[in-house]
Amino acid sequence: MSESTQVSLDQLCATTLRGLAIDAIQKANSGHPGMPMGMADAAHVLWSQFLKFDPSSPDWPDRDRFVLSAGHGSTLQYGLLHLYGFPLTIEDLKQFRQLHSQTPGHPERGHTPGIETTTGPLGQGLANAVGMALAEARLRAEFGPDRMDHYTYVIVGDGCMMEGVASEAASLAGHLGLDRLVVLYDDNGISIDGSTRLTFTEDVGGRFAAYDWHVQYCDGHDQASVAEAIRNAKAESRRPSLILCHTVIGKGSPKLAGSHKVHGAPLGADEVAATKRAIGLDPEQFFHVAPAVYAHLRARNPDRMAQRQAWEQRLASDEAGQRLVARLTPDFSDLEERVIWPSQPVGAMLATRKAGNQVIQALAPHVPGLFGGSADLGHSTFATIDSSGYVQKGDYAGRNIHWGIREHAMTAAANGLSTHGGHVPFVSTFLVFHDYMRPSVRLAALMGCQAVHVYTHDSIFVGEDGPTHQPVETLAAMRVIPNHVTLRPADLAETGAAWKIAIQRTNGPTALSLTRQNLPELDHSACEGGVRAAVAKGAYLLQEAVGELKVIIVASGSEVHLAVAARDVLQAEGIGTRVVSMPSCELFDAQPLAYRLQVLPIQVRKLSIEAGLTKGWERYVGPDGDSIGIDTFGASAPDKVLAQVYGLTVDNVVAKAKRLLS
């Protein structure tokens, strides 16, 4: 093939990507054509010359990762997947944005083959990619480049660069020197409302250079220029790379190119025809791909398959390769038998944040992918693997990481670690700062990412720090996220059970809500099947009534001890009282109705206690029940004073229970 023929064919490939995006969006009468039209050249260069993948095995662990952080341009990625032979057909492209199609409005992991992470909320993809690049660096350091050796490529837009989560993540990536992270910036100067100069006039390249990134500039429509920039980025050996691709949004559209009007709306039938004529496509043909394009882009697929198969053979040939396979496909089904679960005598005092540390040490030898750290709060959350060091630039062997005060990027990067594979990531901070993490927590739940979110200082009993640090509403907010499980354990035994659930729950994130203050170890001798089996049901009978059952007190976390103390008083007065510990509302709600009615029978009066909002507890106590909680913000005072102020006392619990029965 002559050089001129090659250039012409590469231009046709990019033009075809533009045409497929235009047609899919026009047929759906919905979508964002500007970005796919503007980045078609750069994306074609990346995929045709650099990206390592095998369409016949989209989940090959040593593939390069491609993340479309500017997820509104999803038709660009769908077009690429189809053209290279992934299991995505022309018919799938025609169903863009339709119910149950393989081509939803934004890329969704687990929904479309070849999609690495769910993107759309801007900046998230870049932050996820930082986690992916970190995962690759750690596995390469442990298992060697013969077994793990790939890059993470990202396409970002102006919106990604404006979002704070991307800045947090980029700062961390530069600090860690993640040199196999390459970001292509669609620098078109346009956002939904108009020119980015309305709000965004900073020197983005200068900012990333200050983060210690390798920064380059290129013409995003000059394929040779893009290729040279990517080659330079791959040659960089000590820092991540940013390539600012100067592009024209909606390139090829006679009337709309360079305008914000092409960002988020179909071109319209007349402009579709005019654009196709302008870029050399037949306006009478829709979803058309020339045979030469298929042949050119799929010609290397046999070599791609052979590369993947050779990698699999290398892994099968030695012990280190088998260990890597085990890391990538972990089996936690026998965790109960393998782990020596920490314990302590009934009545022994220990904060559940410190209990969590003991459990982490017990789990670490049996969960080799366990890796994480805190947002500059390691000495407060105790979420560390004490036997291991910390990753830093050039040394990725440690199992702990200093995330810095970057709660949002920390959680998004953990999503990237999870989607990459080989890791069970954990992150930690104070519970009140869940609000800084929430968008990434939501995406973890949407994607089904296994990630453990360790929250400490989980109530007003933080004390003197005051209402800014007292998360009265946070538990309720977390419990409404679909596919998200919150556990608020009451002692060391329940904390071990909560961690076990988090490790074995591989299809979504798990939150552990832990105390700052010491709590006494409970007597779990009445738990049928043991405490870990009981906690797995979300709620269980901790203490049964002596005599006729008159009232049930149900509580979570630190308030379970209050319920136990109140029961002693009520029983002494002849009032048969059952105590139910409910560490997880979500897990309890998932139990069969018969079990739920056995634990909380309808005909018995119920009282709930939790140092947080009472809203939500009416589902468990019923219309004839009552709840003790905090429906306002907290206050700055010693914890014992706050307990009196907000009615979290034995006297108040006893009085409320008696009032229910009167």
Residues noted as catalytic = 407
What single letter denotes the amino acid at residue 359?
A: V
Q: Tell which residue, 462, 508, 460, has the closest CA to residue 486.
A: 508
Task: List all residues 6 or more positions away from 345 whose beta carbon is below 8 Å from its beta carbon.
Answer: 521
Pair type for strands 626-628 and 370-374: unpaired
CA distances from 133 to 169, 291, 586 (A): 11, 36, 33
Give the bridge partners for 152, in sequence order: 65, 181
Q: In angstroms, rounded to a whole number, what is the distance separating the alpha carbons of residues 322 and 126?
A: 31
| CA 411 vs CA 172, 304, 372: distances in Å | 13, 33, 10
Distance from C-alpha of 36 to C-alpha of 93, rounded to nearest angstrom:
14
Q: Tell me how far apart the alpha carbons of residues 258 and 261 are, in angstroms, rounded to a whole number.
A: 9
d(CA 373, CA 403): 7
To 10 degrees, the CA torsion angle through 352, 354, 358, 360?
Answer: 80
Cβ proximity of 534 and 526 under 8 Å: no
As given in the structure block, the two tokens for residue 12 are 């046709």
Give 302's contacts (C-beta < 8 A, 6+ positions apart): none
Q: What angle do CA 495, 500, 502 make, to 5 degrees?
A: 95
Q: Return all residues near 165 (Cβ < 8 A) that are at least 6 apart.
A: 123, 124, 126, 127, 408, 409, 412, 439, 440
Distance CA 157, CA 123 (A): 9
Q: Which two tokens stand for residue 226?
A: 């893009």
In sign, the C-alpha dihedral spanning 55, 58, 60, 65 is: positive
Q: What amino acid is encoded at 354 in this protein?
A: K
Which residues fall within 8 angstroms of residue 417, CB to CB, at 6 or more apart?
A: 131, 132, 134, 135, 371, 423, 425, 451
* Cβ density class 482-519: b for 16+ within 10 Å, e for less: eebbbbbbbbbbbbbbbbbbbbebeebbbbbbbbbbeb
The residues that bridge with 496 in the sheet, in sequence order, are none
Alpha-carbon torsion (215, 216, 221, 223), positive or negative: negative
